[in-house]
Amino acid sequence: MKNSARILIAKTGLDGHWRGASLVARALREAGFDVVMAGMSSWEEIVQAISDKEVDLLGISIGGHMEVAERAIAEARKVRPDLPVMVGGVVPPWAKKKLEAQGVEVYPPGSQMSEITEGAQRLTGYRAEPMPGSDTGRSQA
Amino acid sequence: MTDTPSRTWKTASGIPLKSSYCREDIPQWYLPEINKAPGELPYQRGAFAQGYRSKPWRIFQLSGFGKPEDENERIKFLLAHGETGFLMEHDRNTADHMYNVDHPDVLARPQDVGLTGAVMQSIRDIDICLSDLPISTTFGHAGGAVVQHAPFALAGYWTVAKRRGLSLETLPGTGQSDFFLTYHGCVPKHQIPTAAGLRFNADIIEFCYKYVKRWVPVSIAAYNGADTGLNAYQELGALFANAVEYLDEIKRRDSMPLEAAAKACGGVNFRLSMDLFEEASKIRAGRKMWADLLERRYGISDAKARQLRIHCVTSGSNMTYQQPLNNIVRGTLMALAGVLSGIQSLGISGYDEALSIPSEHAHQMSVRIQQILQHETNVPAVVDPLGGSYYIESLTAELIERAWSFFDEIQSRGGFLETLNTGWLHHCAHENQHEDFLAQERKERIIVGVNDFRADISPFEVDGFVGVNDAFDVAMQRLKDVRATRAQRPAAQALHNLERVCRNSENIMPAMMDALDAEVTLGEIGDVWRSVLGDWVAPQITI
């Protein structure tokens, strides 16, 4: 187990709906992750950010075309072949299958908080005690 | 079914609920209102005495993607299936940011272009999008949801109308210019500051008062605040906090009667969500709040000016990715809340909302649900059918009290614009969303197909709508064409004049009309905004 893990969350499109990425970022922070928000980013900016910031996991919020996200993931993997990738946002089933075939974990709308945080824990090998005041992971399911 | 923890009964906004209601639950201050008739001030029972008997609600669906001709085709499809107004949607990448398609931020993601709205960079594109549409008789929405884009979208629509020989005096329709969308729910990468946005909206209101008299100049869409997380009473309070910014600005300018400005601001947009009775009560509360606000704050006694006209859209975020056909039922129930409370106009989000923009079938279904409500349920027969219910009346009163408290809190924090600038309003929304995320996790809130009842045997595959793949290429070619073939001198003069007007305090709209007519492009106008008006610093939470 590592004692810290950093997640970079970027939006590949120019669609400014921020709710999904912001909610996921908060859940991950409360699960103990160091989350860096990169905002609306081109693939070049994403590559730059993962190179600069020693990132353990790349999270991509898709509010645009699948090919734009796929390009960003492919370019990120050129510089960091080992970097795990999670995708959220508007990802129709056909695109979800396509991304999963490329080894990307997809969390479509309706994904529950623990599914996302546990996915990040599995992909990074990092698990921390929840921060004080956090309810994350206290599922009564 | 999974075990659920003992359930707490409350509304979606957190108002505790009793198991039944009686007359004593209605507060004293509100009791006199109950016996008022629909069409009678303060209108919580309905803005119009005869309700849907005199006028059915408008079937009004957001639509658009791809090239202007793709959007035109979809609008015609919807009108052919019974839509009674139409809405234009402009491409998010270009329009929201006032970029042409050759801007580096757009070139970085060309496949995104046209995904959610048609690309319209000049009057030529808007003309194609409006081809053969009955704009002189049908209530049209010109697009321009984003504040900095609204002058372009409106001037484009109006210039097309003028070129067709129509009188602007009688042209029906609306734009949006919505602060909730652009500064709260869907924040572009770059946009003009809120103060400049306020100037634009006041300019539009003044211009319509003089020249486009039947037009609804702005439409405050608290929908966009609510679907980002504001609860029912926050949605109400924030909407009216927004409205007073516009009215105070018009009052400062002293350029038109306040009654006319009130009418201009009184066509608004609320979200309809899944708590049926809270949402119906919210709409009723909204009408009374508007009538009271105009009298108390501005001394407006004119009864007609105090009628709030309401467009609603069913909550997109309540449409689930899982088992999407269930969303047809959700759309119906959310719409019913609006119909029971007497709204004037309605859009139902597509059942494939969580997967893509609407397919033709999802769009048709949204129209069909409305037609079933209008023709089969008999709900439209009686105005305010929920009126007099102890529960509804007490909830209406409770929402009014809580909404005014929220309104007052916004004022104490410097007003609506300031709570956007500081990010306070975003934090309110985000806290609610986070609480909801936790409630789903703990199964205190069950969403069918999402966190319970997940088994799905549906034989129907819903795979989302895939648009067209030539929007970018065609837009690039048309951009080159318009630059090469327009009359260069008038275009340069119009752009120069727009910049001059932008730098002083004249109304921006006459110069916008000239610029659109001279075939100045979207990105060129955006460059003026950027150089003269600067950039809004978005709150950290939105990035």
Do B275 and B398 share a domain, yes or no? Answer: yes
Same domain, B234 and B180: no
| Helix orientation angle between B232-253 and B390-412, rounded to the nearest 10 degrees | 50
The Cα–Cα gap between B364 and B145 comes to: 23
Would the CB atoms of B188 and A42 count as touching at under 8 Å? Answer: no
Contact A37 B322 (CB under 8 A): no
Residue A134 belongs to some domain of the structure: no
- Cβ–Cβ under 8 Å, residues B404 and B233: no
Same-domain pairing of B162 and B80: yes
Q: From the list A13, A14, A108, which residue is nearest B321 (CB)?
A: A108
B269 and B240 in one domain? Answer: yes
> Residue B275 domain-assigned?
yes
Among residues B369, B375, B287, the alpha carbon closest in space to that of B336 is found at B369
Q: Does A36 lie at the interface with B, CB-CB under 8 angstroms? A: no
Q: Is residue B43 a contact partner of residue B288, using CB atoms and an 8 Å limit?
A: yes
Residue B477 and residue B405 share a domain: no
Looking at the 3D structure of chain A, how many domains does it have?
Answer: 1
**Length in residues, chain B:** 543
Contacts of B443 in chain A (CB under 8 A): 140-141
CATH number at residue A101: 3.40.50.280
Q: Is A100 in CB contact (< 8 Å) with chain B? A: no
Q: How many domains does chain B have?
A: 2
Question: In 3-state terms, chain B is what percent helix, strand and coil (to 5)?
Answer: 55, 5, 40
Whether residues B372 and B246 fall in one domain: yes
B448 located within any domain: no
Tell me whether residue A43 is exposed, middle or buried, using C-beta atoms within 10 angstroms of its C-beta: 0 to 12, 13 to 18, 19 or more. Answer: buried
Distances in Å between the alpha carbon of B332 and those of A20, B187, B314, B380? 25, 30, 9, 15
Q: What DSSP designation does B308 have?
A: P
For B189-224, the pLDDT digits (tens) are 999 999 999 999 999 999 999 999 999 999 999 999
**Residue B22 — φ and ψ, nearest 5°?**
-140, 180
CB contact (8 A) between residue B321 and residue A94: no
Minimal CA separation from B450 to chain A, in Å: 6
Q: How far is B231 from chain A (nearest CA, A)?
A: 15
Query: CB within 8 A of B413, min separation 6: which ones?
Result: B419, B422, B424
Assess if residue A51 is contained within a domain.
yes
Same domain, B237 and B215: no
pLDDT in tens, A41-65: 999 999 999 998 899 999 999 988 9
Distances (CA, A) of A76 to A43, A88, B289: 8, 17, 52
- The pLDDT of residue A127 is 84
pLDDT band at A4, cuts 50/70/90? confident
CA-only gyration radius of chain B, Å: 23
DSSP string over B309-333:
EEEEEE-GGGS-SSSTTHHHHHHHH
Name the residue of chain A whose CA is nearest to B225's CA: A19
In the block, which residue shows the tokens 């909204």? Answer: B286
* Domain assignment of residue A138, yes or no: no
Q: What is the pLDDT of residue B503?
A: 98
> Which among A13, A67, A135 has CB closest to B438?
A135
> In angstroms, rounded to a whole number, what is the distance separating the alpha carbons of residues B196 and B146?
13
pLDDT of residue A64: 86
pLDDT, residue B543, reads 81
Which chain A residues contact residue B440 at CB under 8 A? 112-113
B199 domain-assigned: no
Residue where the block lists tokens 């003026």: B528
* B493 plus B390 within the same structural domain: no
Q: How far apart are CA A25 and CA A19, in angstroms?
A: 10
CATH code of B289's domain: 3.20.20.240
A128 band by pLDDT with thresholds 50, 70 and 90: confident
What pLDDT digit, counting tens, does each position of B6-38 carry?
A: 778 999 999 999 999 999 999 999 999 999 999
Please, what is the average pLDDT of chain A? 90
Measured distance CA(B500)–CA(B506) in Å, rounded: 9
Closest chain A C-alpha to B393 CA, distance in angstroms: 33
Q: Do residues B360 and B474 both lie within one domain?
A: no
Structure tokens at B41: 């001030």
C-beta atoms surrounding B25 within 10 Å: 15
Residues of chain A with C-beta less than 8 angstroms from the C-beta of B109: 12-14, 42, 64-65, 68
A141 lies in some domain: no
CB contact under 8 A, A67 and B111: yes
Give the three-class secondary structure for B268: strand
> By 3-state DSSP, what share of chain A in percent is helix, strand and coil, each rounded to 5?
40, 20, 40
CB within 8 Å: A16 and B116: no
Distances (CA, A) of B469 to B91, B111, B115, B353: 14, 7, 9, 20
Q: What is the pLDDT of residues B493-527, one digit of tens each?
A: 999 999 999 999 999 999 999 999 999 999 999 99
- Looking at the fold, whether B332 and B395 belong to one and the same domain comes out as yes
Domain of residue B487 covers 66-188+208-219+469-543
Nearest-angstrom CA–CA distance, B39 and B44: 9
Domain termination residue (choose one: B391, B406, B422): B422
Nearest to B126 by CA among B455, B482, B450: B482
Residues of chain B with pLDDT under 70: 1-5
Same structural domain for residues B231 and B379?
Answer: yes
For residue A88, which amino acid is it?
G
* Structure confidence at residue A138 (pLDDT): 38
Of the residues B422, B456, B482, the one at which a domain ends: B422
Question: Are the beta carbons of A109 and B354 separated by less than 8 Å?
Answer: yes
Q: Which two tokens stand for residue B219?
A: 């439409």
Structural domain including A93 reads 6-124
Does the distance separating the beta carbons of B189 and A64 come in below 8 Å?
A: no
Find the distance separating the first CA and the last CA of chain B, reported in whole Å.
39
Nearest-Cα distance to chain A for B532, in Å, is 23
Cβ–Cβ < 8 Å for B409, B233: no
Phi, psi of A17 (to 5 degrees): -65, 115
- Print the SS3 string covering B13-80: CCCECCCCCCHHHCCHHHHHHHCCCCCCCCCCCCCCCCHHHCCCCEECCEECCCCHHHHHHHHHHHHH
